[in-house]
A = this chain, B = another copy of it.
């Protein structure tokens, strides 16, 4: 029986990010990440298929929460109101530990072309999940695709501002993301 390891997943993510920054993504092995996190390689592989997936591990959870939030928005919600409901739900997955990790995660991604690519695909996946959920609500196709792109932009912008901002402030990421979405809504009127 494997020993129960509280927080092994989180420790692996933190260890990986630190090693990626210290010595580069390419030079870092799964064995090193496991050692730094104080777990076995087997434990690593119970949580992640490889070192790259570790950095986008939250993607499936985010997609599921976005989809649920959009599906459960009131029937008379506009497309952007439904997106806002999805983003609010997804924000529950990002607590203080996400915020603390964010600047180091950003540095690790900035230093690795491979991680940038994986990160870009994550955005595409989140947009696709939102589009599918909006279409299921009856939002017509071009509007659904557009509302999803606004959602992804708002997510990125709000998350960045939250993680770079004043960490003494108690406000969660949801407020930042919803403000970013509203800014984009206002900006959409000045596209011409």
Contact = CB atoms under 8 A, between A and B. Distances in A.
B120 A192 contact: no
Nearest to A139: B190
A78 B121 contact: no
A27 interface: no
Contact of A188 (B81, B118, B140, B146): B146
Interface string A39-74: 000000000000000000000000000000000000
A116 B122 CA distance: 11
Contacts of A191: 78-80, 143, 146-147, 150, 185, 188
- Counting every copy of the chain, the complex holds 2
A61 B137 CA distance: 39
A183 B142 contact: yes
Contacts of A142: 157, 180, 183-184, 186-187
A192 B116 contact: no
Given A121-B120, A123-B124, A143 B79 contact: no
- The 9 A-B pairs of least Cβ separation, nearest first, read A78-B192, A117-B117, A120-B120, A120-B121, A143-B187, A142-B187, A117-B121, A149-B149, A120-B124
